[in-house]
Every structure is written in C-alpha cells, then in structure tokens.
Copies of this chain bind each other. A is one copy, B any other.
Amino acid sequence: MLKDLFTPCLILDRGKLDNNIRKIKSIVSKQNIDFRPHLKTAKCLEITKILVKEFGPRAMVSTIEELEKLKSSGINDFLYSVAIVPNKLDRIAKNLSNNCKITVSVDNISTAQELVSFYKSTGNRINAVIELDLDGHRSGVRPYANDQLIKIGKCLDEFDLFRGMMSHAGESYGLSNAEDIKNCARNEADQTLMAAETIQKAGINCELVTIGSTPTALSGCKNAGITELRAGVFMFFDLVQSGVGVCEVKEIALSVLTSVISYNKEIDAIIVDAGWMALSRDRGTYSQETDYGYGQVCYEDGTLIKDVIVTNVQQEHGIIQVRKGGNAELPYFKPGEVLRVLPNHACATAAAHSSYNVVNQKNQIIDVWDRFNGW
C-alpha cells in the first residue's frame, strides 16, 4: 500500500518506465545507429541494467560518481558529458580497465594538451571527443571554428586519444511543436556532421559522431554519418517534456508521494509535506503554454486531478491549489491522506531522493531501488 510509505518519497511506475524505454527503442531501431542512454536522470543500478539489456553496454554520465557506482551494470564504454577539467583525470584513470573504456569531452586546446600530458606521464589512456556548442550557450567549440577543431583534434589524434564529435541540442527543451523539433534535430545532426567533416578532411578519423537530447532523439530524424544518438529524461519523462510535446502527461513514470498536513480554507489550499526539498525548485514549465507551478497533483492511484497543482513550496511544505483561472473545485482530503505530484523536471526531482519505490499497474510496491547523488 502506498499509504504505508513514509512521505515524501518517490514512486516509479514500472509499466510506464518500460513503455518509455520501448518508445525510444522503436525509434532508434529504425535507424542504423547506436543508442547511448544518459544515466544522470536515474542514477540507479537497476535501471542501468535494464538499459544495458535494451541498448548495449554503453552509457553517458554526468559525474564520475555515476561511472563508479554503475560500472558493475556491465557498461564498458562510458562517455562523460561535462567537458573535463584536468584535476578529474586521476580519479577517472582509476576506473579504466579492459572492461571499462572512458571517453571525456574537451572544448579547448589547453585541456586537450593536459590530457595528452596525463597520458604521456601515466600511460593511462583516457579518450576524448570534442564537445560542440550548437547554440552558443555554454561549453563547447563552435562547429564552424575550423582552426580550433583541427588544433584540438590533431593534439589528441597524435597519441591516438581522439574519438570524435559530441553535441547536444539543449535548445530543443525550449520548443513546443513537432516541426520545430524536427528542424532542431536536423540542425543538430548537420552542424555536428559539418564539424566531423572538417576534422576528417584534416586527416583525423572520427569514429564517434554522437548527438542527442530527448526531444530531438524522439523526433525520428535520420542522418547518415551520425553514429550514435543519446537521451536521458525519456525514461521517466516529465511535465516539461509534455510541454515540449514529446510525451503525454499520462506517460510520466515518476511522481512524489506526499501526505496531507491540513486544509487551509482561508486560501483554499491543501498543505502537504512535500516542499522544495522533495519536489525541487525547478520551474521549467513556467515559460511553457501550461504552467504546472511546482507539479501536477494526482490522487493516490495516479489519476490526475484536473487544474490542481502545487502553487508554492517552502523547504518541507507544498501548497496545493486550483491553478489561476482553473474551473475545478479543490477536493477535500483529510489530514494523513496521500497524493502524488508529477514533476516539472524528472532529473531535479529524482535528485532530491535516495530511492525509487517501484510500483506495478495496481500500485503495489514491487521493488525499492537505490539512487545516489554526488560527483
């Protein structure tokens, strides 16, 4: 019984998780391409094992902690997504083995040179891709910065440390219709292929050309020359992804179980024990057509309560109200009854918890899976 769980806690719907994984598998299988799931969303050994079974022994990670805690899943080819800083090489090297190849990403010549020095002085072979910056928002080399690309590529290739090109269409999260997402996916592929071509023309082999974000990966856009697609949040989905249009709200596999503390008649609000500590402060739906506040509220069984959202959060309190302009009436719940909240952003909400309570279609708890944070 969900009611017996100590709240707040995470509920993971196993059927929806499986469906979401099948959904991307069916898209990827239509292309002659590898799929590399991003482990940063789930940070969970059991889920990683499912992904290895479905997609093979390769994964993307956002922290070395993920790499260390999840390598027992059978993954032997890790790609570390955050462009590397030199003082992390030592710890990465400790995880190298015949059964564990690790590729980092670099976006500047200084770090590429450090990687080469590290190899020369320790003999530890940490491979690298060049991170591309498609939208000018953060780290990465611009795909048209030919001199920079070739300089970094040659520096790494001389010692056989170069693997290829990596990009991520982060802009896709800001879109909301299929046409724009297709265009974004096409652009992601085109720009990455252009940069790969620049490198190849300079006589450097590009074995790996990897792109992806959940929206663009799900768009089904095909591109010869791209060797690998990546995505992460697809396994859980969330309200932001439903706003982007790549899933329906009913496909969201993750929710937070919370207990009703009391009913505040003065402001027509239900006060619950899930605040920003349990839901996160993510407000990713704020700029979307439907703003879900800090989350969409559901009954204990997962049935959505129309127009009822978490309108405010404090550290350990959530304020549930009918959304502004909503037609619904706020149902009454007794202190101690439980509700479920669908997250704006699954990565952020999952990060607030240390385990998943896995439920079947009847909302029976069939597993408890640990998850972790940290770097």
* Residues in B whose Cβ lies below 8 Å from that of A336: 85-87, 110-111, 114
Minimal beta-carbon separation of A112 from chain B (angstroms): 10
Question: Is A280 engaged at the interface, CB distance under 8 Å to the other chain?
Answer: yes
Structural contact, A110 and B334, CB atoms closer than 8 A: yes
* Residues in B whose Cβ lies below 8 Å from that of A40: 315-316
Which one of B83, B269, B276, B347 contacts A261 once the chains associate, using CB atoms below 8 Å?
B83
Structural contact, A273 and B136, CB atoms closer than 8 A: no
Complexed CA–CA distance, A62 and B111 (Å):
44
Which one of B110, B139, B267 contacts A136 once the chains associate, using CB atoms below 8 Å?
B267
Per-position 1/0 for A313-325, Cβ under 8 A of B = 0111101000000
Which one of B7, B84, B142 contacts A266 once the chains associate, using CB atoms below 8 Å?
B142
Per-position 1/0 for A125-147, Cβ under 8 A of B = 00000000100111100100000
* Residues in B whose Cβ lies below 8 Å from that of A142: 266
Given A83-B262, A260-B85, A334-B110, A138-B3 contact (CB < 8 Å)? no
Report the nearest B residue to A278, measured CB to CB. Answer: B375
Structural contact, B273 and A62, CB atoms closer than 8 A: no
Question: Is A203 engaged at the interface, CB distance under 8 Å to the other chain?
Answer: no
Which one of B87, B260, B315 contacts A259 once the chains associate, using CB atoms below 8 Å?
B87
Structural contact, A315 and B347, CB atoms closer than 8 A: yes
* Residues in B whose Cβ lies below 8 Å from that of A81: 316
Structural contact, A82 and B6, CB atoms closer than 8 A: no
Residue among A3, A62, A85, A264 with the highest chain B CB neighbour number at 10 A: A85
Which one of B267, B316, B351 contacts A82 once the chains associate, using CB atoms below 8 Å?
B316
Question: Is A374 engaged at the interface, CB distance under 8 Å to the other chain?
Answer: yes
Question: Is A331 engaged at the interface, CB distance under 8 Å to the other chain?
Answer: no
Per-position 1/0 for A324-339, Cβ under 8 A of B = 0000000000111000
Which one of B110, B259, B263, B319 contacts A85 once the chains associate, using CB atoms below 8 Å?
B259
Question: Is A170 engaged at the interface, CB distance under 8 Å to the other chain?
Answer: yes
* Residues in B whose Cβ lies below 8 Å from that of A244: none
Structural contact, A62 and B316, CB atoms closer than 8 A: yes
Question: Is A343 engaged at the interface, CB distance under 8 Å to the other chain?
Answer: no
Report the nearest B residue to A112, measured CB to CB. Answer: B335
List which A235-286 residues lie within 8 A (CB) of chain B.
259-264, 266-267, 269, 271, 273, 276-278, 280-283
Complexed CA–CA distance, A348 and B314 (Å):
10
Structural contact, A85 and B273, CB atoms closer than 8 A: yes
Can you list 28 A-B contacts (CB < 8 A)? A4-B87, A6-B87, A7-B85, A7-B375, A62-B315, A63-B316, A81-B316, A84-B261, A85-B259, A85-B335, A107-B262, A108-B335, A110-B335, A110-B336, A114-B336, A136-B264, A136-B267, A137-B267, A137-B312, A137-B319, A138-B271, A138-B317, A139-B264, A139-B271, A277-B373, A281-B282, A353-B374, A354-B374
Residues of A within 8 A of B (CB): 3-4, 6-9, 40, 62-63, 81-88, 91, 107-108, 110-111, 114, 133, 136-139, 142, 170, 259-264, 266-267, 269, 271, 273, 276-278, 280-283, 312, 314-317, 319, 334-336, 347-348, 351-354, 373-375
Seed contacts A85-B335, A138-B319, A280-B281; 4 additional CB < 8 Å A-B pairs: A82-B273, A108-B263, A139-B261, A281-B348
